[in-house]
Amino acid sequence: MSASGKSAPLTRLPAWRALQEHHRSAAGFRLRELFEQDPARFDKFSLRCGDILLDYSKHLVTADTLRLLLELAHSRDLPAWINRLFSGDKINLSENRSALHTALRAPGPLVVDGTDIATDVAQTLSRMRRFCDAVRGGKRKGFSGRAFTDVVNIGIGGSDLGPALATEALAPYACPQLQSHFVSNVDAAHLAGVLARLNPETTLFVVASKTFTTLETLANARSARDWLIAKAGSTAAAVPHFAAATSNVAAAREFGIDAEQVFETWDWVGGRYSLWSAVGLPLALTIGMEHFNQLRAGAHDMDAHFRNTPPERNMPVIMGLLGIWYANFFGAATQAILPYDQSLRLLPDYLQQLEMESNGKCVTQDGSAVDYATAPVIFGAAGTNGQHAFYQLLHQGTQLVPADFIGCCQSHYNLGSHHEILLSNLFAQSEALMRGRTRDEGKAQMQSQDMPQQDIARMAPHRVFPGNRPSTTILIRKLEPRTLGALLALYEHKVFVQSVIWGVNAFDQWGVELGKQLAGRILPELATGTPVSAHDASTNGLINYFKANRH
């Protein structure tokens, strides 16, 4: 759908057809040769934004490819969509909502539906600041008069992944007196495991749920409350131990959370885009409001870049279009996220929700079925761990898996040469994927190791790396609140760019509803002694087996 509301089927656009045609010649692209032919390839195909460098020269693209991809973006009205995003148009059509996560980090006023949302944001931020300062300074206390030492965030999906990732990534900025914990899974093992290490007198819970109706979060919050009341002796004594981040203030109040400790988010912030809102409270408690504001400022830097930079030099636009190139023209069904930074260990999980919940759609905004691929499966792990687990497939498997390598020039942890070892592996992996190793190179290496001739012949096929496998490398000067904010906003906007090309709504998630409804129906069935027969044979069989073996 174009920004003005007129739809034009994507696969019938001249730009799409031109890319299909171009893809036929791309089958002959050899990255080794492209680098040999053009020593300036890195300079041409890399971008800088603040302290972030994006190298996309190891992609199966030429200047022509980029021109055609940019034409596609133009024919999907991308600049107009970017404008609509930032100005608060209701681009989340199925829910008739704006998607204004950018307003959570923007300094200026913005009126939506007659309300200046910037004032609402500023008020919540200043309440968060007072609360964080009081907790961190030991002024806000638990039932026995002791200062809080532990914060437990209870939330799931967007109410967990962003804060958990950022809290771990920014651990060097954490307040040493306050430990943070994240409980998301309804499996009792998660909450029980965390509670076992905590003292109720000094534990603060933040119940994070945009809707305040999420089954898992409410079940965990109720059990946490029971645990606290049992130790504190009364419901009233437990009250100071609970805060909430939600857009459903009434439900949080009904749960028993003091109005002073309820921090509002809004309908126009999607769960997976909510780190910058009150959902960031556990992070703000841990790193302090100053650092939390730097994180927001970094995201705003990227917002400004995305909004004001021409498409050909625009990082999220280029990243988004490269993803389209592989998903739609090479048939790549996956995308690897490979942070060479233990602090970014949770980035693949976070991006899984961001990308797959946003763009894992099979109908366009106007409800027509798509006849092309949308979001790839996102997976990954911190390097170098992943190298010893799944990189074999990346190098010699039969599928094309575009990869994002992410590393930092400076480490917070200066321990011997660990950082050089880590980064040498990052550089080596992207080089190996790109160059591969020919049969002759493999043989030469074995010869240099004095292997017997017959072994060399037998081993040669196993030593071949096809190469020509594309990757992006993102280098960050140092992992700080501001650079982390910019990195996460980069991915948010990349996802938006792709949603515009695919014509899907990046801000709804109807696909998670059905399972929730069915679980609601099955739960009471598990409580009875009688076998069930209302489902299909498999589901009946599984439920009945569970019931028979429950005790």
Q: Please, what is the minimum distance in Å from the beta carbon of residue 246 to ligand F6P?
A: 8
What DSSP state is assigned to residue 113? T
Cα torsion at 196, 197, 202, 206 (round to 10°)? -80
**Please, which residue, 202 or 358, has the CB nearer to ligand F6P?**
358
Q: Residue 153 forms beta bridges with which residues? A: 182, 206
Q: How far is CA 498 from CA 91, 122, 319, in A?
A: 14, 31, 9
Q: Please, what is the minimum distance in Å from the beta carbon of residue 457 to ligand F6P?
A: 55
Decide: 485 and 295 in contact? Cβ < 8 Å: yes
**Please, which residue, 389 or 519, has the CB nearer to ligand F6P?**
519
178's enclosing H/E stretch is none
Residues that contact ligand F6P, how many (by CB under 6 A):
14
Query: Active-site residue among 201, 355, 357, 492?
Result: 357
**H-type alpha helices, 50-116:** 63-75, 78-87
Q: Please, what is the minimum distance in Å from the beta carbon of residue 376 to ligand F6P?
A: 19
In the residue annotation, 201 being an active-site residue is answered as: no
Length of the chain: 551
Which residues of 85-228 form beta strands (DSSP E)?
A: 111-112, 115-116, 150-154, 179-183, 203-208
Can residue 271 be called a binding residue for ligand F6P (CB under 6 A)? yes
In the residue annotation, 513 being an active-site residue is answered as: no
CA 410 to chain centre: 23
Angle at 4 between CA 15 and CA 90, to 5 degrees: 120
Which part of the chain contacts ligand F6P (CB under 6 A), choosing from 53-61, 183-191, 203-211, 294-302? 203-211
Can residue 272 be called a binding residue for ligand F6P (CB under 6 A)? yes
Residues in 154-193 that interact with ligand F6P by CB under 6 A: 156-159
**Please, which residue, 217 or 359, has the CB nearer to ligand F6P?**
217
Strands 52-55 and 471-478: antiparallel
- Output phi, psi for 263, to 5 deg: -115, 130
In the residue annotation, 395 being an active-site residue is answered as: no
Return contacts of 29-36, CB within 8 angstroms, 24+ apart.
Answer: 29/60, 29/61, 29/62, 29/468, 30/468, 31/58, 31/60, 31/434, 31/435, 31/467, 31/468, 31/470, 32/434, 32/435, 32/436, 32/467, 32/468, 34/62, 35/434
Burial track 508-517 (b if 16+ CB lie within 10 A, e otherwise): bbeeeeeeee
Contacts for 121 with CB less than 8 Å, ≥ 6 apart: 103, 104, 277
198's enclosing H/E stretch is none
**Please, which residue, 227 or 350, has the CB nearer to ligand F6P?**
350
**Please, which residue, 248 or 472, has the CB nearer to ligand F6P?**
248
Q: Please, what is the minimum distance in Å from the beta carbon of residue 118 to ligand F6P?
A: 23
Residue nearest to ligand F6P (CB): 271
Residues in 130-159 that interact with ligand F6P by CB under 6 A: 156-159
**Please, which residue, 147 or 351, has the CB nearer to ligand F6P?**
351
Strands 377-380 and 334-340: parallel
Residues in 205-234 that interact with ligand F6P by CB under 6 A: 209-211, 214, 217
Q: Please, what is the minimum distance in Å from the beta carbon of residue 81 to ligand F6P?
A: 22
- Answer whether the bond into residue 384 is a cis peptide, omega within 30°: yes
**Please, which residue, 384 or 509, has the CB nearer to ligand F6P?**
509
Q: Please, what is the minimum distance in Å from the beta carbon of residue 513 to ligand F6P?
A: 8
Q: Please, what is the minimum distance in Å from the beta carbon of residue 12 to ligand F6P?
A: 32
Decide: 244 and 260 in contact? Cβ < 8 Å: no
**Please, which residue, 210 or 493, has the CB nearer to ligand F6P?**
210
Can residue 252 be called a binding residue for ligand F6P (CB under 6 A)? no
**Please, which residue, 57 or 209, has the CB nearer to ligand F6P?**
209
CA gap 353, 245 in Å, rounded: 19
Can residue 346 be called a binding residue for ligand F6P (CB under 6 A)? no
User: Which tokens is 381 given?
Assistant: 């792990």
Can residue 361 be called a binding residue for ligand F6P (CB under 6 A)? no
SS3 535: coil
Binding track, positions 462-501, relative to ligand F6P; x by CB under 6 A: ----------------------------------------
Residues in 496-535 that interact with ligand F6P by CB under 6 A: 509, 512
Q: Please, what is the minimum distance in Å from the beta carbon of residue 379 to ligand F6P?
A: 19
Residues in 391-450 that interact with ligand F6P by CB under 6 A: none
Q: Please, what is the minimum distance in Å from the beta carbon of residue 262 to ligand F6P?
A: 14
Query: Active-site residue among 44, 74, 139, 388?
Result: 388
Q: Which residues bind ligand F6P (CB under 6 A)?
A: 156-159, 209-211, 214, 217, 271-272, 357, 509, 512
Active site positions, annotated: 357, 388, 516
